[in-house]
Amino acid sequence: MSLPPFHLAFPVDNLPAARQFWTEVMGCTEGRSSDDWCDFAFHGHQIVAHQAPSVVARNTGGSNPVDGHDVPIPHFGLVLPIEEWEKLAERLKAANVPFEIEPYIRFKGEPGEQATMFFRDPSGNAIEMKAFGDPEALFAKD
């Protein structure tokens, strides 16, 4: 299945810190940019950090209880192949990025079993990265 790339714009309060995080830690390539915004290639998708300190998500969102964890709302992320997910978890740990929810396996042994982790970018935007051992289980219900 071929999916079209998505576009997501999000607020940051420090564009140089966002550039460093998204390129050096997350491994994105920087695209077009200005003094107020910066495009990143996020695994084939376009995300754009906009300098917008008055709307930065830090401490303004809520959470939702899921599997005994407080999942930050709002959040965004990707579903990666498990090997890439594991490498990213190690890169985040090596960069001392604190986890909101440490990497773990949800629904172990059930339909939809998935690896997940939550962390924040330097402006407080919540990010969830997932992986499925069986990519066909992405939308599994039972």
What is the CATH number for 36?
Answer: 3.10.180.10
pLDDT digits (tens, 9 = 90+) for 93-131: 999 999 999 999 988 888 788 999 999 999 999 999 999
Q: Does 142 fall in a domain?
A: no
Element (H, E) at 48: strand 45-51
The residue segments making up the domain with residue 74 are: 7-137
**Could you tell me the pLDDT band of residue 59, with boundaries at 50, 70 and 90?**
low
Can you tell me which residue has the tokens 């498990």? 82
If one counts the domains in the chain, the total is: 1
Contact assessment for residue 78 and residue 39, using Cβ atoms and an 8 Å cutoff:
no
pTM: 0.89
Q: Which residue has the higher pLDDT, 28 or 68?
A: 28
Q: Does 79 fall in a domain?
A: yes
Q: Does 124 fall in a domain?
A: yes
Q: Does 2 fall in a domain?
A: no
pLDDT of residue 133: 81
